[in-house]
Amino acid sequence: MPPVASTQANTVTEGDSGVRYGPALTLLASLFFMWGFITVINNTLLPHLRSVFDLNYTQTTLIESVWFIAYFVASIPSAKLIEKIGYQKSLVIGLLVMAAGALGMMLAASIPSYGVTLAMLFVIASGITLLQVAANPYVAVVGKPETASSRLNLVQAMNSAGTMLAPMFGAYLILGRSKGGTATSDVVLTQAERLADAQSVILPYGLVAVVLVVLAIVIARFPLPSMGSATQRLAPEERAKLSL
């Protein structure tokens, strides 16, 4: 029976590669912040999208559900991608996928198109799924085994900070710049007002895309500690479970 790889054996410490894990943990924490931030932006968009596209109940529910559908669909493929190319490259790809989705949201706003918006929300959520599958195990093993729970609590706190700041960002740059997002439900918008409201998401998603691309470049160039060989051999399904 083959030995089971333990977390302690796979932990990367400062002496393993000559790279301090403090800066690496800070960089990983920024990822947790960003995906918490972007996840909540989805909820902020709901009143905005209802007014722009005059959505019925089914269409509104689909916007809420597409996020979770992406988690279900993308989790195992994400784990298999990590198995093939490694953790650091997967983090970069996850950020670039999210950036592509944010740029796609700008396109959806300029048309505007409900279908493209739905597809781009799925793309963004898929990128977040890849980040989650790669980053959570990374945080657990980058550092001393006895402080693993503290590191996970720290990055989860950063994730919560992102979820707290996102509503303010969305309210100011999206809802605050649109008529439909702040109007009562019985207000009927003209076609010109709907187009203007749709285009109000171009600036915030453009800013999000820039931040994601910058993070991807930084992570691609940053000397993140390499994961232990035993961790690299974990089955994709096991890594997916560890990321939950």
pLDDT tens across 108-162, in order? 888 888 899 999 999 999 999 999 998 888 887 777 778 888 888 899 999 999 9
The hierarchical CATH code for the domain 23-242 is: 1.20.1250.20
SS3 98: helix
Phi/psi at 113 (nearest 5 deg)?
A: -145, 125
Residue 175: what pLDDT?
65
Q: In this predicted model, what pLDDT tens digit does every residue of 62-72 receive, in sequence order? A: 988 998 999 99
**What is the model's pLDDT at position 225?**
73
| Rama region for 54: left / alpha / beta (φ>0; ψ in -120 to 50; rest) | left
- pLDDT at residue 140 in the model: 79
Q: What is the pLDDT of residue 42?
A: 76
pLDDT given at position 3: 42
pTM for the predicted model, two decimal places? 0.80
Sign of CA dihedral 61, 67, 72, 74: positive
Q: What is the pLDDT of residue 5?
A: 39
- CB of 38 closer than 8 Å to CB of 208: yes
Regions of the chain where pLDDT drops below 70? 1-20, 175-191, 193-194, 227-244
Which of 15, 84, 89, 90 is CA-nearest to residue 233? 84
Q: What is the pLDDT of residue 191?
A: 67
Q: What is the spatial distance between Cα 30 and Cα 219, in angstroms, rounded to a whole number? A: 11
pLDDT of residue 2: 42
